Structure 1
Amino acid sequence: MKKQFYIAVAFLLSALSYAQTNSYKFDFGTGKAQKGYIKITPDTKYTTQADYGFVSGSKVEAVDRGTAGLTGNYITGKGPFYFSVKVPEGNYDVKLILGDVKGASATSIRAECRRLMLPQVTTKQGEIIEKTFTVHVKDSLLRDANGAVVSKVRIKPREKNYLHWDNVLTIEFNDSLPKICAIEIIPNKMATTIFLAGDSTVVDQPEDPYASWGQMFPSFLVPSKVAVANYAESGETLKAFENEKRFEKIFSLAKAGDYLFIEFTHNDQKPGPNHLDAFTTYKETVKKWIAEARNRKMIPVLVTSTNRRKFDADGHIENTLLDYPEALRQTAKEENVALIDLAAMSKIFYEALGEKESVKAFVHYPANTYPNQAKALEDNTHFNPYGAYELANCVVSSIRRQNLPLAKFIRKDVIDYNPANPTPVDKFYWPQSGFVSSVKPDGN
């Protein structure tokens, strides 16, 4: 009995230790730390030896308002700044206390590779508010049921510099007047997870001006209830996604009731070793992953790929995706799987803007708009933040219109959206990230 007692105590202590190392409370500012909170000052720097701190290059300052409690002081910055915390992979609720007891504030929050969590959050003079978002943190290791590492995802050289795959949660604070009083990070093992499998039009693009609908998607969803786990990558095909063990990684983490979104075409349609024929091998491969998801009691959702921006003489979008959207529509019917027809909706969106104005949804910028950009950017496949946000709106509106079970996870304040009547470009707000590049993503 004694031995069993000691084993039970040891297990409990181990569990408590695990919880403590995965839950954090941070008090931002130079005042005395509140009980149970870790004090964060401008000098708290993240290193490979430290578990938390500001990322190198973050220019921040502390302001002390001379009042007690978490809200008596805060940290701010004149440009984007980044705070990182080392945590195991999984879903986390991040609770933020924002505002200023003696002033106003404006804060936009993104996580990992510019994943939009909270668009501009403003507080009035003297107002303090609490906001929560739910984020998925990932690494590249594959583990068995006992947690032992058995393999790893084969990531590309460019991915090694991404702010994911690293067991570190990185939060970007941005906007004209960010004021951060406190952060609490709590593991969330109950949230439904939406896993995204796709290419450059889905991935969390790491640098402005590039963006995708996948990295905008989390901002539309109810925190704590659902998390978006974006495993898409630029240049991917269905075959490459499998060969690099990205599907295997998703399945190693998924639980019953989680979702798997599948969106591939742009690269699968090209000649080469990863080419798949629309009505034969493409459909067969998609059906294979539908079956794999269902075997794990996941819910598959198919997404037709976004159209490229190519107009004909009559002002309509030409179909450069060939038979692949139709093949996916057929697959959805044959397998009784939900379909989000982003090909159809993106066509409506581009045509609503028109040939001239639609460049404002893509990475089209004159030379020298961004550092080391000697030539104009004219990319008709990849989106800027405005285009990406509108396409995320399309995904959300399709979920609602079809009354899919996922609709319960959409925030109630998200208004109905029609791609034929897109948000005016000048009404979209996106403060530029601290990470900028004119290097085009893989794929086209």
Structure 2
Amino acid sequence: MLKRKSFILAAIFCLLSSLIVTSPVMGKGPAGNAALDNQLKSIAKKTYRYFEDFTDPKTGLTYDEVRLGNGKVAEAKHTSPTNIGMYLISTVTADKMGIISKKEAVSRIQTTLNTLEKLEKWNGLYYNWYYTDGTLKTDWGQFISQVDNGWLSAGLIVVSEAYDELEGQAGKLANAMNYEPLYDPEVGQFRGGYYVDRGELTGHHYGMLYTEPRVASYIAIGKGDVPSDHWWKMFRTLPPEWDWQAQIPTGTTVEYDGVPVFEGHYQYKGIKFVPSWGGSMFEGLMPGLVLKEKELGTKALGLNNQRHVQIQIAYAKEKGYPAWGFSPSATPDGYSEFAATPAGTSGYKDDGTVTSHATFLALEYAPKEAYENIKALKRLGTYGKYGFYDSVNVISGDIAKAYLALDQGMIMGSIANYLFDGLIRDYFHSSEIGRNPEELLRKEEFSIR
């Protein structure tokens, strides 16, 4: 009898211990920095408030942007596939962090999925702009964006794996998104998109691997919409003979799956790296919200993500800036592209504008530096009701008192991955679409080691 009681007590103890360890609210970052972990939980709560206050309750579509100033709130009541994807990922994050209940998360996402079923589409893909009441916003044209649809697909896949009760509905929507019409088989690359009203594809291709459209490329391969050799037909660096680029790359040609790939690299202050197009943080690191580049691409994309974080920090130090993090963001009077210019093939400008989402994308690669940067951004007056304002110019002190659904979503997803050891990536890769192309991440070696 005593043995039986001891066994029961031991079992209860083990169960309670398990619950404590796995409870979402108890998530801890890998750095073991309790102060950072607490900061992130507080930031996430404020950041998700944006989605609570500025998502249409009838349609579940989040406003693209909200600006504060002169005691007024200017609400941009339109949305994009990327915004919708970021809302889905953010709501999963809010549930897992205990900010909202699972019941509320499922209810919110269900509303969005119901709307997605009704929205006007093209080959299962979504137009780039809708009003948040669910009607098509045609005054900005009728464009189908490869990259924006990729982020909506990613959000749907995450939801389908996070909630059994939504798996069928979210999975059906994701599977219906057909990327094949945007693919150019002669080049082996995607077009940027399709103008439905003009009946024509864009003139440009998404040619570079280390830019954010690689999420849609990965998903299209995982779905079987395009062949896997598409992955190898994107440029790591542009060919050395293209002498207009920022640097002439060094490297060698390697064959993967029968496709020759020029594995080239640039250098900045002795750091070898594969460039993005513009040198911004979200081009390089946003795909890592869902793709297991950190875990599987240890000789290629994951390693390169680490290098880009190093470059962003080193670039700010060289400039004498009090904070770092360069990426496209809102400005006091609009929106513009910014970067650590040397990290790009054709680098975006730098005028001292720093954006908060860049810090959070870097969390898993430089947690201590990110923690210090969070404190620096707060000292610069960038922290408000819905978390961090979108940007601050560290030279002039001008703050863009704007919140963007895209950037708020990157912050939420980054916090989830940091505190819960790749939570969003785990959901994504639990799906067949996420698993199918994993070997592409695993087998490549960039020439930066």
TM range (shorter): under 0.3
Determine which structure has greater relative contact order: mean sequence separation of CA pairs < 8 Å that are 6+ residues apart, divided by chain length: 2
More strand by share: 1
More helix by share: 2
**TM-score, length-normalised on structure 1?**
0.26
**TM-score, length-normalised on structure 2?**
0.26
